[in-house]
């Protein structure tokens, strides 16, 4: 790991400021063991995906095994010309819109909810339990419920209605929990100081809380976007 050597070279200069005891002075043996573990993890993380990307450049005879059969862009052309795979462009379009909507709503709503949970309010435990319940309930269970419910009410399931809601029912609790972690680093004294200096509640949020928490909010937004993977077959009813 050349990156680690680089830091090792930089280390003596900064050793004074940073007194992290397990790694003060020379590297302990655990460093090498854990560095090896980390490297192994990253290789295992990326290796299979890189294989798949390489395999995608095969020609018509290609399958999911090495060695590669030919080299072509056949499958990419196939993908975008909609002969066999259906409307990829439309699906891509819908996914992007859905992802952006989910991200924006999640950041705003989970920020507000986490603000509420900073203080106790009547019924807060009920809300908290509902949130945890929504987080752990299997997607398919809620999928059945949403399907039956919408069917009974005579509402059609659609990507911007039920699919969005189904995503949010998972991303919101997740977002609130991450927000808890983000907000636990916020010192309430800053908020009190703003109030003492005559800031209105809205000014406190806009000028103090949001700027301080901005990096955390970005983190939540990024995290959301990659968690869009709760696959609820919302369409199984209309398709059946």
Please, which residue, 84 or 226, has the CB nearer to another protein? Answer: 226
238 near 159, Cβ under 8 Å?
no
Residue of 58, 107, 142, 191 that binds another protein (CB under 8 A):
142
CA angle, residues 5, 10, 13, in degrees to nearest 5: 150
Q: Does the protein bind another protein through residue 185 (CB under 8 A)?
A: yes
Q: Is 55 in the site for another protein (CB under 8 A)?
A: yes
CB of 22 to another protein, least distance (A): 5
Whole-angstrom CA distances from 129 to 117, 132, 231 are 12, 5, 23
- Interface pick for another protein out of 26, 65, 198, 211 (rule CB under 8 A): 65
Positions 67 through 126 that interact with another protein (CB under 8 A): 108-110, 112-124
Q: Which is nearer to another protein, 45 or 83 (CB)?
A: 45
DSSP string, 108-165: HHHHHHHHHHTS--TTHHHHHHHHHHHHHS-HHHHHHHHHHHHHHHTPPP-IIIIIHH
9 binds another protein (CB under 8 A): no
- Contact track, another protein, 192-211, x by CB under 8 A: --------xx----------
């Amino acid at each position: 790991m050349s990156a680690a050597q680089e830091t090792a070279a930089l280390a003596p200069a900064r050793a004074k400021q940073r007194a992290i005891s397990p790694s003060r002075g020379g590297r302990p043996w655990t460093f090498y063991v854990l560095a090896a573990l980390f490297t192994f993890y990253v290789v295992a993380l990326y290796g299979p995906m890189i294989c798949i990307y390489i395999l995608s450049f095969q020609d018509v005879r290609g399958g999911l095994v090495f060695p590669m059969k030919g080299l072509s862009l056949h499958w990419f052309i196939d993908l975008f010309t909609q002969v066999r795979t259906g409307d990829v462009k439309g699906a891509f379009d819908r996914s992007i819109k859905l992802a952006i909507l989910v991200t924006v709503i999640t950041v705003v709503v989970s920020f507000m909810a986490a603000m509420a949970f900073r203080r106790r309010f009547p019924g807060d435990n009920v809300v908290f339990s509902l949130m945890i319940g929504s987080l752990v309930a299997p997607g398919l269970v809620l999928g059945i419920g949403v399907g039956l419910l919408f069917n009974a009410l005579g509402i059609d399931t659609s990507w911007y209605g039920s699919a969005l809601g189904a995503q949010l029912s998972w991303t919101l609790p997740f977002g609130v929990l991450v927000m808890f972690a983000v907000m636990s680093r916020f010192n309430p004294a800053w908020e009190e100081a703003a109030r003492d200096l005559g800031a209105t509640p809205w000014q406190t949020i806009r000028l103090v809380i949001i700027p301080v928490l901005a990096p955390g909010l970005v983190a939540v937004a990024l995290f959301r976007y990659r968690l869009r993977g709760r696959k609820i077959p919302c369409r199984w009813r209309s398709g059946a």
